[in-house]
Structure 1
Amino acid sequence: MVIRRRLRAIVFPLLLYCVSGAAGGYFVWHALNGERGLKTKDEYRLKIADLEAQLAGLQSESDLWRRRIELVNGAIVDRDLLDELARRVLGRADKNDLVVMLPQQAR
């Protein structure tokens, strides 16, 4: 009887501490590494910054194309730009033109 009481006095608190420590460790681990944890929050911030930089680049490219389209579709057509586009599409050049071939820029 005395041995059981001593065993219970030692085992039950030890078991209680182990279970509560495991539960606390579980919640701490998920607070750091979980789906909404602190590390994930930093990763999302980096991804947002990268996507915002990509968006800024795409908006500047969109503005460039918008300006070029306005030059062709406006009430007054820019004749030089229209001539350049027509020659590029048709692959033609005048006999007095000087043709300079530039390498294509990577986009």
Structure 2
Amino acid sequence: MWTKHHKQRRFGRLVIPAITVAFVSYFGYHCIHGDLGLIATEKFEQQRLDREKDLSKLTEKRQQLERQVSLMSDGSLEKDMLDEIARYQLNVSRPDEIVIFNNYF
């Protein structure tokens, strides 16, 4: 009959749990503080929201410019609009006029 005797070690029982704790700690830390962790995800989400606000502002500005261009295009040339834009950009007025700037452009 063959029997195997081995000596009970104190630290032998703790090797597997210690390795497990090390792996869980390592991956747990990187889940929170890593490049794709929870904190980085919150920063990405904040950047996304900021960029959506910028996009909506730029879209609104583009629509304003498209409206102005449509008023100055051939076939529907508004002389008042053309005169207003020219005066605003060239900073020209007659001596008998009062100028009020509204910063449309």
Deviations 1:16-73 (A, max 9, x none): 3222211111111112222222232222222211111110111001101111111112
Normalized against structure 1, the TM-score is what? 0.75
**Which residue does the alignment assign to 2:19?**
19
**Which residue does the alignment assign to 1:55?**
55
Say whether 1:36 aligns with 2:36.
yes
**Which residue does the alignment assign to 2:77?**
77
Normalized against structure 2, the TM-score is what? 0.76
- Residue 75 of structure 2 aligns to a residue whose secondary structure is coil
Cα 1:42/1:90, change in 2 over 3 Å = closer
Q: Which has the higher helix share?
A: 1
Identity %: 22
For residues 83 and 90 of structure 1, the distance between their equivalents in structure 2, rounded to whole angstroms, comes to 10
For residues 47 and 90 of structure 1, the distance between their equivalents in structure 2, rounded to whole angstroms, comes to 39
Using the TM superposition, give the Cα deviation of residue 76 of structure 1 relative to its aligned residue in structure 2, in angstroms. 1.9
**Which residue does the alignment assign to 1:66?**
66
Poorly superposed stretches of 4+, deviation over 3 Å: 102-105
For residues 36 and 91 of structure 1, the distance between their equivalents in structure 2, rounded to whole angstroms, comes to 53
Using the TM superposition, give the Cα deviation of residue 103 of structure 1 relative to its aligned residue in structure 2, in angstroms. 8.1
**Which residue does the alignment assign to 1:91?**
91
The one-letter amino acid of 1:12's match is: G
**Which residue does the alignment assign to 2:4?**
none
Structure 2: gaps spanning 5 or more residues: 1-6
Output the aligned Cα RMSD. 2.5
- Residue 10 of structure 2 aligns to a residue whose secondary structure is helix
Using the TM superposition, give the Cα deviation of residue 104 of structure 1 relative to its aligned residue in structure 2, in angstroms. 6.2
